[in-house]
Amino acid sequence: MEQENEFDALHEHFAFTADARQEPLRVDKFLMNRIENATRNKIQQAAVAGSIIVNDQPVKSNYRVKGGDVVRVLLTHPPHENLLVPEEMPLDIVYEDNALLVVNKPAGLVVHPGHGNYSGTLINGLLHHFGQLPKNSNDRPGLVHRIDKDTSGLLVVAKTENAMAHLAQQFHDKSSERQYLALVWGDVADAKGIVDGHLGRDPKNRLLMTVFPDADQGKHAVTHYEVVERFGYVTLVRCVLETGRTHQIRAHMKHIGHTLFNDARYGGDKILKGTTFTKYKQFVDNCLKQMPRQALHAQTLGFVHPESGKKMAFSCPLPEDFEGVLTKWRNYAQHQRLGNSR
C-alpha cells in the first residue's frame, strides 16, 4: 500500500473513454486533445515508458484509438508539496486590507499550479508576498475563484480563514458581482440577451466545454450579455456571470454563434466573419498578433466585505493589447462607413 501511495504521488492519472463514433486517431493526438498543457513529446515519452494503457494493455504512441476504447495515461509530475513554493513576481494589487486583497491578473499568468504549470503561477507569487494564506476546499491558498490563464482582470484573494469562508459562500450563493468585457466575432443581433445552457466537457475534446440540453450532461450556467459597441464583423459585449463555470463565457458565446476573438481553443483565431479580400485578411492577422489570446477581460468585481459588511466594488481598465485591438477595429469600422457613404 505504501508503494502505491508513493507511485500515486509521482504521477498524474487521466482516463478517457472514446466516444462510440470516434474515428481512428493516434493515441498521442487523442490525448493532446484532452490533457491541458501536455506536450506531444511528454505523451510520447509516457508511451515509451509503457504508461499509456488502452483496454488494460500498454500501447505505443502510434496506436489508433477506436470507439469505446478506454485510454489511461500516467504522467510524472512534482510532488504536491513542491508545487506551492513562494516565487518573487510583480503583483498588481488593486486593494488590500487585513482580510483580503484584490489583484489585477495579467493575461498569460496561470492562477494556480497544475499539470504543465508547476511554477510561476499567481499562487506562487502570492505565497512569496504573504508567506501563508488559508487554503480552499481544493488546497489552493487564498483562492476564492479563478480566471483562465489568457483572461486578464480582477480576482479577490482571501487572507484569513473567515474571509475565505464568507467570500466562498457569496460566490456559491451567486451574490458576488462579476462583469467581463469580450470582443466576439459577428454582429450580435440583440442589444441584450441571456444564454442559459448546461455546461460540461465536450465528449470529443475534453479541453473544451460545450452546452448540453439538460443537467444530465452538464452543470447549470447562465450568462447575461449586453452590446457595448459594434464594429461590423466583431462586437464588443459586456457579460455578467450568474454562475461561474469553467470557460463559461467562451463556451456560451460560441454556442450562440459569437466565438470570442482570437480564442484559439474555440476556433476564434480564424476569420469567422468578414470578406475574402487580402487587405481584410492582413488587417485581421495584425489584430491577432496585437492580442495573441482570447479577447476577454474581467473588468469589475463586487462583493460584501466579510468583516465590515460593506459593499465593495472594483474596476480595472482594459490592458494595452485589448485596447489596441479595439482601436484597430474602431478605425476599420469608421473607414468602412465612410467608404459606404460616398
Catalytic residue positions, numbered: 148
Q: How far is CA 300 from the centre of its chain?
A: 17
Which own/partner contact pairs does 271-279 have at CB distance under 8 Å and 24+ positions apart? 272/185, 272/186, 273/185, 273/186, 273/187, 273/233, 273/234, 274/233
Q: Which phi and psi angles does 298 have, rounded to 5°?
A: -80, 95
Q: What is the CA radius of gyration of the chain?
A: 22
Cβ neighbours of residue 277 under 8 Å, at least 6 residues apart? none
Report which residue type is found at 181: L
Handedness of CA 50, 52, 54, 55 (dihedral sign): positive
H or E, element range at 304: strand 296-304
Instruction: Find out whether 75 and 7 touch, Cβ atoms under 8 Å.
Output: no
Element (H, E) at 76: strand 70-76
The SS3 of residue 332 is helix
Question: Please, are residues 62 and 31 in contact by the beta-carbon 8 Å criterion?
Answer: no
